[in-house]
Structures are given as C-alpha cells and as structure tokens.
Structure 1
Amino acid sequence: MPAPDTFWTYLGAVTAYLAVLAVPGALIGRAAGLRGWALAGLAPLLSYAVTGLAGPWLAMVGLRYNVLTAAACTLLLAGVAYGVRRLCLVRGWIRPGAEEPPVVWTNRAHWAVAACVVVAVGLSIAVVLSARGGTTAVFQRWDTVYHANGIRYIADTGDGSLTGMSTINWYPNGAFYPNGYHLVGALVYEISGTSIPVTLNAVTMPIAGIFALSMVALVRQMGGRAVHAGCTALIAAAATTGAYESVSSGLLPYALGIVLTPLTVVALQRFLVRPGVDTGLVFALSADGLLVAHSSALFGGILFAAPLVLQRWYRSLRKLPVDGVPEGRAGLRAIGRDILFTIPVMVFAVLLAVPQIFGAIQFTSGAYPYNAWGSHLPVMSALNMLATFQQVLHSPQLWLTALLAIGVLSFLRLGRMRWLIVSALGLSGLFVLVTSYGNVPLVISLSRPWWNDRFRLMALAAIPLCLLAGHGMAEVQRWIARLVRSIGWAKERPQVVSRLGIVTAAAVVAATAVLTGGFYRTANATAVSFLYYNGPEGEVTPPVSPDEIAAMEFLGRMGIPPDQKVLNDRLDGTAWMYALTGVHPVAGHYDGSGAISPDAKYLALYFRNYDQDPHVREAVRRLNVHHVLVGSGSIARDVPFSPGLTGLAGMDFLKLEYRNPGAQIYTIIR
C-alpha cells in the first residue's frame, strides 16, 4: 500500500535517489579522470550506464540485481578505469589537461553557477510537489503503470533482464524494454523502503534540476561564460517543453533521456580534444548510458551533437584553429584522426551494450505493432509552439521567446558553440516535419525512434532552444554591464567595476524571475498535473480511483501467493495491483497489443460464462486465477468495460469478499 505522505518518507526517497544518481557515476568518473563540472554533470549519466548495463549482464550470468551486486559492478568498473588510466599515465601514453575547458572561471563564478543549479533543482521539486500536492499520488498516465510494475518486479525478484519486468503483462516470455530507469528506481525503492508511488515521485521531482546540471556541464566544457551557464540552468527549469511536458505525458524514461542528452557533447568534446583510454571510456559509457535510459536518447544525442563535429571539421578544412588539433595539420588528416579514434570507442560501447542492441533488433522485428501518430497541424502552428515553448498548455512563455530571439540574433558571440544554431534548426525542422507532415511515409520512417510523436520531438528540439535562450539572457547581462561601465561615476570606482558582473547577473536573474512569475512555476505545475489526472484536472476522470486503491490494499492483505493471478479489467486502475501490493494481475498494463496471453483475452470477453463455457474454466486453471478484482473508470474515454467482467454480482460461482462504491473483490468458489 502507499506509504504515508510524511516528510521523512519523502526525504528518504529523494535522498536515496540523489545518492544512487551521484555516487556510482562519481566513483567511475573520478577514476577515469573527470573533475569539476564535467564530473558533476556526467555522474548521473554514468550512474545510469553502470546500473543499466549491470542488470542485464547479471541476469545473463544468473545473479540477482540488488544494491550489493550493483555496488560490486560499480566498484569493478571504477577499479578497471582507475587501473587502466594509471597504467597509461605511468607509460606516458596519455597526457591529461588538453580536454579541460579552455576558459577559466573564477571561484565566485563557480559558486554563482552552483547556486543557479540549486535553484533549478528546487524549482523542479516545487513544480512536481505542487502539481498534485503530495509525493504518494499515483501517476495516472498510460505507461506509468508499466514503469511502476517494472520497478516493483526488479526489486522483488532481482531479475534485471531486459524482458523480465514485462512478464507482469506479457507472460510468460515478456518483451524487450530498455530498463535503466527501472533498475535505478528499484535501488531507490530497496534503499528507501517507501512505496512505489513515493519512489516514482522521488525519481521525478529533480528531473528539471538534472536538465539544468547537464546544460551547465555542456556550457562549461565548451568554454562558455559562467553567466551563460547559470542563465541556461534557470531556463532549463522554466521551459515547459524541456523536461516537464514529457513528464506530464507519462513518458518518464524518455524525459530522463532528454535531460541527459546534453551530456553527449561533454563526453564527445573531451574525447575529440584528447583521444585516450580514459576519455574514450567515458565517451563509450556515456553513449551506453543514453541507450539504457531510453533507446531514442542515443539517436537524439547523435543528432544534437552532430553539428559540433561538422563545425569542427569545417574549421579543419578552412585551416582555422580547432581544439585538440595541432596548428598546421591538414584538414582531411584531422577529420581522419577523429574518425579513426572514434571507431574503437564505438566498438567497445557496442560490446558493453550487446544485450540492449540485440534486444532492440529483435523487438523491432517482432510482433509488437508500430502505430504512427500521424500529426498534421499547420506549419505556422508548429513554429509557434517551438518559439513560445508551449504545446500542452494554452499560455505561451513569451519572455523565453524574447530571450530566444536575443540569443539567436547574437549567435556570433557563442564562439565555440555556434554549432547550436545548426542543431536548433535541424531538431526544430524534424519537429515541424512530424507535426505537420506526420502521415508521410518518409517522415514516419525518419522519426521512428521517437514513435512519430511530436511531443517527444518537441522536448528534443527544446535542448538547443533553451541553450540559445540562456545565451540571450546572458547577453542582456553583458549589455547592462557594459552600459553601467560606461557611466562616468562607475569608472571612478574600481570596487564597482570588479563586482559589476555578479551584480548585473543577479539583477537579470531577479528581473527574469519576477517577469516570468517565478520562472513559470505555476504554469509548469499545471502541465505536470496532467500526470496525476491523465489530462487537465476536471476534464477527465483519473483511472486509478481511491476506491480501487483501497480494494487493492485489501487484496494485498489476503495472502495471495505469487504464483496466482487476480483477474482484472485491462483499462481500469487495477493494472496498478502489482506495483501497490505485489499481487500479480492478469492485466498488468493498459496496453493489450503485442503478445498478450490468449487466455487473458478470452477471460476479458467471456469470464462471466464460467459455468457454461469449459474454455473459460481451462483458462482460469492455466492462469491459476482464484480471485477477481472489478474496478471502475477507464484510462481510455468511451471504451466499454470488459464484457466478461460485467454483471458479476450474484453469480453463484463467485463469493463477494470486499466491496466499496468503486470496486469489488470476488473469490472463485468452484
């Protein structure tokens, strides 16, 4: 049953998540030579990489996945990274230093940027908390029940395989799904001892804060200004189309992949500037981290970072200065060097992720249907969504639009990050194609990693747009500082000039906070609230009702063994049965497509004919069903209740065990 919504359960779950997010990746990153913002930013991605890779490999060798085995895998990988790097240093094969950011920040700048990240984390937590008003609220969106059941399954069974958690619904063989999100969630659930709803909320709350940290690490690695980094962190926590829209749609692993995507540039830039075993290991693990978080995240990371490589190669061909390339080296030779050194790193990354890659190949060629969304909105509507950072809400974020316009117009001042313009154009163009021409077969094929879904592609396009808006905000600060510096009285006061940067930056941040109403916290909370209501509050009925939760809690106290299944409807809230109580349902997900058990389909249609239909009795026996839970409501509008589960009251083969206004529990008595 859901744990009480107390300060201590909340604090315990969030603390556990932050520890799982930071410690494994920090150990591996430190051993591989990462320091500073690169270490802080890449730590979450490396944590997901090691846990996401450990689960399937442990399953393949027959070991349980839990806190101890995950810690052992972390220490093993950190030990290997440290040993190999140390050997290379002693032999003189690598000379660290060139990969570090080319621009020095003052201590004051570091602390100011860190404060912006802390504010972004606080904003993210406040948005999620105020979206529903508590950490034990059950998520109501489509795929959230699958993620909830998956986390509970991994924690209960220790099965970290890529198909195991899907057996709650697609039994007996399961179905492939990249489970890095669930493997980390299982550790949080195990460490904190809270409920699955609290665990899911804890993992969701800092999502925009992670986005902000990733953005800061990118700007720092590329030699950007500290003001740009701090402003982008706040923009990342304010833009609805960044992390919040994906969360509001219940796309929890996808949202995770989005907020980690900027780190592709950090790992790639460090490797290209100084190819080595240590930077190559971090690059390979970063690629695998995106893959295990969500398959599309790796594709998104490639598209996002490709303009960086193109800019690098263009400058090489023009014989312009390029980070990590000796002056005078031929352009084609520099390009060949990048490709040559990248190939073994990618081969190593593929070898580490063999289970995920083969699983994805088998899945795409399997029976699970691919249904394109087929959006066909006007092009101008799509462009308006991009420019105003709004898609699920009716209110545009016009102050971010203004900052974006300033950032685009002043893109020449981006320096090493001018490639962001190309990235923004490319990803925005892909969004427009899918939004306006989603029925075209070529567009469907190109956007298949994102399920032809404009909401997913909006989040991807928001990454460079947020960076450009952050640049615009930083340019406003630069203009104000230059204006103040030009005033006569300021020139005569050196103490004013020395503090001008931090003072004007603070003034710009404060003004933006006021103009945006606390960085659009209320608007973002409204968007995230869709996660708790399956749409706008008042317009829909949440599928998981309090009555159903009470019935599931009663079911959990009935002592039902794990080899038995409880018959339930596929579209009501009872699909949460396993996540909340550990009792196995017949329908463990709202999704009835793919290789659903024929017995489950048959019972949904004809169970009420138990006395007359021997096929029903055989299906009940095969699934080992002894109890029935009938709920109310539906995840889908205007979809009728399963006919086999209607009108069960008074049936002589059933005994009523529990009833409330929205749910009933029956026992099959013969």
Structure 2
Amino acid sequence: MTAPDTFWPYFGAIATYLAVLAIPGGLIGYASGVRGWPLAGLAPLLSYAVTGLAGPWLALAGLPYNTASVAVCTLLLSALGYGLRRLALSRGWVTAAAEKPPSSWSRRENLAVAACVAVATGLSILVVLSAKGGTTAVFQRWDTVFHANGIRYIAETGDGSLTGMGTINWYPDGQFYPNAYHLVGALVYSISGATIPVTLNAITVPVAGLFALSMAALVRQLGGRAVHAGCTALVAAAATTGAYESVSSGLLPFALGIVLTPLAVVALQRFVVAPAPATGYVLALTAVGLLAAHSSALFGALLFAFPLVLQRWYRAFRGKATDGVAEETSGLRVAGGDVLRMLPVMVASALLAAPHILGALTFTSGSYPYYPWGSDLPVGRSLALLATFRQVLSIPQVWLTVLLAVGVLSFLALGRMRWVLLSALGLSVLFVLVASFGAEPWVISLSRPWWNDRYRLMSLAAIPLCLLAGHGMAEIQRWFAKYMSGRAWVRARPALPARLGLASATFVVLAVAVLTGGFYTTANATAVSFLYYNGPEGEVEPPVLPAELTAMKELVKLGAGPHEKVLNDRLDGTAWLYAITGIHPVAGHYDGGAGPKDASYLLLHFRDYDTDPEVRAAVARLDVRHVLLGHGSIRPGAPRAPGLRDLDGLDFLRKDYQNPDATIYTIVK
C-alpha cells in the first residue's frame, strides 16, 4: 500500500526528522550545561519537550504553531537554561565538574560506543525498511490513522492545541491527546514537503536507534563501562519487545515514550549529584517531554528510575560513599535534601505542563469509554514471554535470554547500576499482574496509565531487561579478555594486552551477531511488518488498499472541497482521506468511542435519506456532498455500516467513480 513518492523525498524527511530532534533540544541542553553523551541522548527528548510545550501554549495565546514559532520558543528556553546555569556558576552553587559522569571514557571507547549506536540505528533502518515494500507504505494498524490525520491537521492549521487534531473525528470540540509526536511530525511534514505516509515512515525508521542512544547515554551518565554501553545499544536494537513490538501494534507515540524513558535517569542523576537551577531545569523539561510524548511515559519513567533513588538512599543510610554527597552526611539528611530539592522541580514541571495535566484530568473524567483488556495468561507463560523478549512472535529470542541470565547472575559487577535489577523486578511483576490477572479490578486500576495492556507493560519492562542483557554481554567480554590476558603467548607480546579489550569486545559482538542471525533482524522485521498489513502478512486484508488511495485522489478531481465532509464507513481505509488529500471525512478514525451524534446517525440510517428528515438534516449540518466507500476493514470480516449498504440504484445518489475496491457517489437531491 504505497503513495507516489520517491527515495529523495523519503531521505529528505529522515534528514529533516533527525535535524528536528538534534537542533532544538541540542541548543537547550548545551545552553543548560549538558555535554557529551548526556547531551546527545537528551537532545531528542528536549526537542520533544519544546515542541510539546510550544503547541499548547501557542494555541492558548492565539498564535500559530510552525517552524518560526518553534524556533522562537527554542531560543527562549535556551536563554532561560543559559541564565540559570550562569547564575549557579557565578554564585558557586555548583561547578561544571560536578555535572560530569563519575568516570571517564577514552577517545577509543567513545568511538566504539558511537559505532555501536550507529550499528543499532542501521539495524533499526534495516528492520523497518525490510518490513514492507518500499519507502511510502501506508500504516495499517488501528491508531495510525489518528496520528496521520493529526500531523496533517497541525501542519495545515497551525493549531497545536491538545484537542485540535481530534476535531478530524470528534468534531466540533475535539478530544485530548498528548501531541508532541504529532507536533514534531508536523514540522517534518512542513519542512520536508513529503507526504504524510512518508513522514510517518521517516519518523519510525530510527526508533530503535533512539532507544540505543538513550541506553548509551544512561550508562555513560552513571559511570558504567563503555563496553556495557555499546552492548546495551546493540541489545536494544535486537529485542523485539523494546522498540519494535509497540511499533508493530501501531502504538507510535507510546513507542516514542518507551525509547526516551531511559533519559529520565540521565536527567535525574545529573540533578541529584549536582542540584542546581540548570540541572533542575533540564530535569523539569525531561519530565515535560515524556508527558507530552505519551502520558504513560512519565509514569513509566518514575517506576523505572525510582530504584536509583532507593539505592542512593540505602547507601547513604549505610554510611557508604554516595555520589554528590559529602562524607559523614547522614542518610536522613541525604533523603530529606533530595526530596526538598525535588519539590521546586516538580512545581516547575507542573506549571510548564499545565495544559497537559488539565487535559488529562478532563479526559479521564469525560465520556470516552475505557475498556480493559482482561488478559489471563498462565503465570508461567507470562514469565516465559518476559524472559524471551517476545509476544507477537512465536520464536523466542533465546540468546538474549542467555545474556539476560548472565547479567542477572553478575549484577554485583554493575556497581552504581545495581538498582537496575530492582527496576527489572518491579516492572516485570507489573507485567505479570496485567498479563495473568488483568481482569482483577485492582490490577485494572493500577495499570490504567497503560490501558491495562500487557503489550505496553512488556515494552516498559524490556528497558531494564535490555540493560541487564547488555551487562551480561559486557561481562562475557570481560571474562574473555581476562582469560586471554593470562595466556602465555599474549603476555609474551607487549603490544597485545593493550589491544585485548577492543579485540575481545569485537569478537563478542561478532559472535552474538552470528548467533542471533544479525541481532534478530529478520524476526524483528516480521514483527514490524504487522504495522503494514494489520497482522501477519498474507493472513489478513489490510484496511487501506491501493484502489482506495486512488479513489481518494479522484475526490479531488471531482471538486470535493476542504470545508465539506465526505461520508465514509468508519472501519474501512477511507478514514485516511484527510491525511492523504486534505479533504475531511465524516469518520476520521476507526475508533467510534463517543463519536459525533450526526456521524453515528448517518452510519446507521443514511440510506433512508429520502424518507428520514433527520438524515437530511445531519447531511446539511455536516455539509456532506459525496460518499466514499472502500473495501478493506480494520476489523477482518466486519460488515459495512447499515446506513451505507446497497447504495447502488438509490435515486438521491449518482455514482461518479468506481474501481474494484472503492466507489464514489454524489448526493444529487
């Protein structure tokens, strides 16, 4: 299912996306004192933070969201970060050295980790591109049409509010949705000039690369070994349940939130070891960025990062050396100081994200239905899925399981990162609860931020599990290097021991690559292919068919305007009409939860146009002049809406276009 774009628009869209990720967040982070790997990791999240703030606040001020307004917001936030940092340095509240990671990497180690992140990004590109035929495929899963329509809406209207893009389906008032993903997508769409399908693909391609970068930045900030950082980056690009499984389900903003979640630890660690206005400012923006990317991302980040704080307090109460704390400082003073210093950061985050918080509260108390999944897998089955890094695939990722086991058994070697084991345990328990006892009311309430969805909870649990598996891979390298260094033929050659670390790391990486079949690239491509076929390829009929895309473009030729609405079935591919052409459909999303009254009535009764005055009134209110019917369905085997069946021959309609999978009618009365 493709749209008419070529390689160069696609390449331009990817380049634009990477620039949008790097430049705004990079400027803000650098101005606020972030350097090195933490800056590289935090830059994408800070870019999502500035766009996520700009959209809603500009809308409240009555200003358009576009490239120029985002540039102004970026400069303002950068200036604020620079001012806060200069203030802290001039007053002696903090030194630049205090913000740095507790250990250093050599130039060779930095280059090696960068190479691993680059390989992980390449694997991500290979997985996504091999999951479909071409660079312009239309996404086929449930929520992707909402994201596609939302990106085009923001770009065309300049309305970056948290409800505006929802008006494509829930008119006239819209529906709350955290929209940083769409705000960034709107910039990519506007700057690159690519189509919406190409824009979505370009944003999706490097998703596992972002995950790898986030993981590497986390390990670096906590003083971990470079080998651990590089190995974890590669594991992040190999684990199906990390970035790919959420993408395969069409949970695009959620997947974004998952791959950015490790950065919460980077910002938190910088703040607790060097509490100052600038580090607090970066932490506040980090929280806002996660909330704006997806509401559950902030909740997940809190659960993931809290064991770091527990380990810090435990060490302080035991009288052990604690980063950023003077010797002989009591544990109570450390814990109390951390809490007190966190309060203004929380207040700042809440003020910055006020539109998101108020919108979320309004949404949860509104009429939109909440349907828990109620999963009831056997506990053993849930644990097996967790340990083998897969849910949508039938084949377990056994070698990642082996690396995970090694990492867990050698967790003492993690040093400052031992808290990861506790994080993995807590998030794994949460997954098992949802996967095996998902119908229990208290489990439903506990997991509501993740919609009681075991697939989402698996992705969250995969973060610390990938860190442990990466640690296991790094420990194998350490043991192998230690074994080789004891060989007589190595000791007899003075130049070899100095090169043994890099050589052993290269050997381990290549060995894992061979054992996993190229870091499970084929398996991950199979998982991601569900995004393009709405399930296993060949087993389902995608909702958006090529002939439907052709019919959408015929509507433009027939003179359908941007101010009218085209009547369509809610379950077929015509919900993509706005994203493809800019023409508004009556149903702009497959999901009909709390949909507009007129739209619902027409879907049930439109064919009674001649005899039902309420149908004619609804048609007039919505300014419906054309009807577009497709063939595919998001729900395999689902019947067409009753009001849109058997329209041929009705005297109030004229058939103006037909192909094997789509028909266009014009209302003539």
- 1:650 is aligned to 649
CA offset digits 1:166-211 (Å, max 9, x no partner): 0000000011000000000000000110100000000000000000
- 1:537 is aligned to 537
- 1:165 is aligned to 165
- The question of whether the paired residues in 2 share the 8 Å contact of 1:257 and 1:294 is answered with yes
CA offset digits 1:326-351 (Å, max 9, x no partner): 00011101111100100001100100
Amino acid at match of 1:33: G
Matches within 5 A, 1:21-420: 21-420=21-420
CA distance in 1, matches of 2:557, 2:94: 61
Structure 1 residue ranges without an equivalent (≥5): none
CA distance in 2, matches of 1:133, 1:28: 38
CA distance in 1, matches of 2:349, 2:222: 24
Q: Which deviates the most, 421-430 or 609-618?
A: 609-618
CA distance in 2, matches of 1:270, 1:557: 57
- 1:603 is aligned to 602
Amino acid at match of 1:63: L
**Shift of the alpha carbon at 1:559?**
3.2
**Shift of the alpha carbon at 1:491?**
1.1
**Shift of the alpha carbon at 1:66?**
0.6
CA offset digits 1:326-379 (Å, max 9, x no partner): 000111011111001000011001000000000000000000011100000000
- 1:632 is aligned to 631
CA distance in 2, matches of 1:605, 1:84: 59
Amino acid at match of 1:531: L
**Shift of the alpha carbon at 1:133?**
2.4
- 2:573 is aligned to 573
**Shift of the alpha carbon at 1:553?**
1.4
- The question of whether the paired residues in 1 share the 8 Å contact of 2:38 and 2:221 is answered with yes
- 1:484 is aligned to 484
**Shift of the alpha carbon at 1:637?**
2.6
With over 3 angstroms needed to count, the CA separation of the structure-2 counterparts of 1:114 and 1:508, relative to structure 1, is same
- The question of whether the paired residues in 1 share the 8 Å contact of 2:2 and 2:134 is answered with no
CA offset digits 1:597-640 (Å, max 9, x no partner): 11111110111111111111001001110110011121113321
CA distance in 2, matches of 1:556, 1:436: 50
- 1:593 is aligned to 593
Amino acid at match of 1:629: L
- The question of whether the paired residues in 1 share the 8 Å contact of 2:403 and 2:472 is answered with yes
Instruction: For residue 153 of structure 1, give the secondary structure of its aligned residue in structure 2.
Output: helix
- 1:464 is aligned to 464
**Shift of the alpha carbon at 1:93?**
3.1
| TM-score (structure 2 length as normaliser) | 0.99
- The question of whether the paired residues in 2 share the 8 Å contact of 1:5 and 1:134 is answered with no
CA distance in 2, matches of 1:349, 1:381: 40
- The question of whether the paired residues in 1 share the 8 Å contact of 2:151 and 2:182 is answered with yes
Instruction: For residue 657 of structure 1, give the secondary structure of its aligned residue in structure 2.
Output: strand
| TM-score (structure 1 length as normaliser) | 0.99
CA distance in 2, matches of 1:575, 1:4: 19
- The question of whether the paired residues in 1 share the 8 Å contact of 2:434 and 2:452 is answered with yes
CA distance in 2, matches of 1:4, 1:648: 31
- The question of whether the paired residues in 2 share the 8 Å contact of 1:654 and 1:666 is answered with yes
- Tell me whether 1:428 sits opposite 2:428 in the alignment: yes
- 1:501 is aligned to 501
Instruction: For residue 136 of structure 2, give the secondary structure of its aligned residue in structure 1.
Output: coil
Work out the percentage of aligned pairs sharing the same amino acid. Answer: 70
**Shift of the alpha carbon at 1:80?**
1.5
CA offset digits 1:214-253 (Å, max 9, x no partner): 0000000011000000000000000000000000000000
**Shift of the alpha carbon at 1:492?**
2.0
- 2:660 is aligned to 661
- The question of whether the paired residues in 1 share the 8 Å contact of 2:608 and 2:643 is answered with yes
- The question of whether the paired residues in 2 share the 8 Å contact of 1:385 and 1:391 is answered with yes
- 1:621 is aligned to 620
Instruction: For residue 162 of structure 1, give the secondary structure of its aligned residue in structure 2.
Output: coil
Number of residue pairs matched by the alignment = 669
**Shift of the alpha carbon at 1:88?**
2.7
- The question of whether the paired residues in 2 share the 8 Å contact of 1:2 and 1:198 is answered with no
CA distance in 2, matches of 1:434, 1:84: 43
CA offset digits 1:36-68 (Å, max 9, x no partner): 000000000000000011000000000000111
CA distance in 1, matches of 2:303, 2:88: 32
CA offset digits 1:526-566 (Å, max 9, x no partner): 00000001010111110011111110111133332222100
Instruction: For residue 469 of structure 1, give the secondary structure of its aligned residue in structure 2.
Output: helix
CA distance in 2, matches of 1:99, 1:145: 43
**Shift of the alpha carbon at 1:91?**
3.0
- 1:11 is aligned to 11
Amino acid at match of 2:492: E
Instruction: For residue 132 of structure 1, give the secondary structure of its aligned residue in structure 2.
Output: coil
Q: Which deviates the most, 59-68 or 649-658?
A: 649-658
CA offset digits 1:300-322 (Å, max 9, x no partner): 00000010000011111111110
CA distance in 1, matches of 2:402, 2:596: 53
Instruction: For residue 394 of structure 1, give the secondary structure of its aligned residue in structure 2.
Output: coil
CA distance in 1, matches of 2:270, 2:91: 21
Instruction: For residue 97 of structure 2, give the secondary structure of its aligned residue in structure 1.
Output: coil
- The question of whether the paired residues in 2 share the 8 Å contact of 1:25 and 1:44 is answered with yes
CA distance in 1, matches of 2:94, 2:4: 53
- The question of whether the paired residues in 1 share the 8 Å contact of 2:141 and 2:534 is answered with yes
**Shift of the alpha carbon at 1:656?**
1.4
- The question of whether the paired residues in 2 share the 8 Å contact of 1:275 and 1:341 is answered with yes
CA distance in 2, matches of 1:66, 1:559: 28
**Shift of the alpha carbon at 1:2?**
6.6
CA RMSD of aligned residues (A): 1.0
CA distance in 1, matches of 2:582, 2:556: 7
CA distance in 1, matches of 2:482, 2:497: 10
- 2:452 is aligned to 452
CA distance in 1, matches of 2:224, 2:90: 33
Structure 2 residue ranges without an equivalent (≥5): none
Amino acid at match of 2:617: E
Q: Which deviates the most, 610-619 or 162-171?
A: 610-619
Q: Which deviates the most, 448-457 or 83-92?
A: 83-92
- The question of whether the paired residues in 1 share the 8 Å contact of 2:3 and 2:137 is answered with no
**Shift of the alpha carbon at 1:3?**
5.3
- The question of whether the paired residues in 2 share the 8 Å contact of 1:65 and 1:154 is answered with yes
- The question of whether the paired residues in 1 share the 8 Å contact of 2:3 and 2:138 is answered with no
- 2:437 is aligned to 437
Instruction: For residue 499 of structure 1, give the secondary structure of its aligned residue in structure 2.
Output: helix
**Shift of the alpha carbon at 1:4?**
3.1
Amino acid at match of 2:523: A
Instruction: For residue 637 of structure 1, give the secondary structure of its aligned residue in structure 2.
Output: coil
CA offset digits 1:16-44 (Å, max 9, x no partner): 00000111000000000000000000000
- The question of whether the paired residues in 2 share the 8 Å contact of 1:570 and 1:588 is answered with yes
